[in-house]
Amino acid sequence: MKKNHKESYFDFGNQFKIDKKIDGYHGSKKMLEDIVNPFNLNQIQNKLIMEVGSGSGRILKNLIKFRPKKIFGIEPSNAIKIAKKNVGNSRKIKFFNIKGEDIEEKEKFDFVFSLGVIHHIPNYQKVCSNIFNSLKKNGQFVCWVYGYEGNEIYIFIFDNLRRFTILLPDFVLRLICNIFNLVLYPYIFCCKFLDLPMKSYLLKVFSKCSYQKRNYIIFDQLNPSFSKYFRKKEIFEVMKKSGFKKIKIYRRHNYSWTIISQK
């Protein structure tokens, strides 16, 4: 595999120096199962797996509970050091400090996961094509990305707000995230009685996370210089262009897509 080179993903490496703790619902096996649903994670037992965009190791730490044969963790930023600490000394996990665009493995893996990552990569088509090439025949790619449909108002607000927030020092942005976090308490309460935007996600996912993890989730919306909200047709075409023939797309809490593609 090729060596990594510097790009904007280093912002995520800096972010995980602070948001490095894996705990609560946000770091749970239950949340992972919710993200990949309806994919049955028991299928990865004794299989060779790759995760693209390991970050702090949150997904890896839960994937290993399903007893795969081995997992390759791909992470281009300095967060790879944090991931190694979070997953411990598992001999089943092998890390590569490279970008998804630099994956060169061919027909090697049974399953590949990339959850909450593809929508932050400008060259997402190249990454998905590399993932297709890395899979064995009949191998599956499980992907989760932000969705466009139903989020138009949210996207308009946050895409314009991000033009300003990406210029702020992290400590200032974190103060702003605390304000948003506090404002969301009454909004979430109102969601229990009214059909408001992001209702399902806020009640079934966000509200189950700790205050600290809620801050992290908000920061993750305002800090990245690139965030792509995919229309269903768009993400289908990305997978089709990558080479996948069997593509199934599922709506997650009315705001994002879980895609299960088979080679």
The per-residue pLDDT for 91 is 86
pLDDT attached to residue 14:
67
Residues 112 and 31 in one domain: yes
Amino acid at position 182, single letter = L
Q: What's the pLDDT at 8?
A: 53
Cα separation, 219 vs 174, whole angstroms:
7
Q: How far apart are CA 117 and CA 143, in angstroms?
A: 9
- What confidence score (pLDDT) does residue 115 get? 97
> Are 79 and 109 contained in the same domain?
yes
Predicted pLDDT at 3 = 38
SS3 content of the chain, % helix, strand, coil (to 5): 50, 20, 35
Task: Give the CATH number, domain containing residue 123.
Answer: 3.40.50.150
Q: Which pLDDT value is given to residue 21?
A: 83
Q: In sequence order, which ranges of 65-165 are alpha helices (DSSP H)?
A: 79-87, 124-134, 152-165
Read off the pLDDT of residues 18-48 as tens digits, 9 standing for 90 and up. 777 888 999 999 999 999 999 999 999 999 9
Q: What is the pLDDT at residue 13?
A: 59
Compute the distance between CA of residue 255 and CA of residue 115 in angstroms, rounded to an integer.
14
DSSP state of 246: E
Q: Are residues 143 and 158 in the same domain?
A: no
- Domain check: are 232 and 250 in the same one? yes
Spatial contact of 9 and 74, defined as CB atoms under 8 Å apart = no
Whether 217 and 241 share a structural domain: no
Helix (H) or strand (E) holding 207: none
pLDDT of residue 158: 87
Q: Is residue 32 part of a domain?
A: yes
How many domains would you assign to the chain? 2
Q: Residue 171 sits in which domain range?
A: 152-222
What is the mean pLDDT for each group of 10 consecutive residues in the chain (263 residues)? 46 68 92 97 97 94 96 92 87 92 95 96 96 97 96 90 90 94 96 93 95 93 90 98 97 96 97
Q: How far apart are CA 220 and CA 60, in angstroms?
A: 19
Confirm if 225 and 11 have CB atoms less than 8 A apart: yes
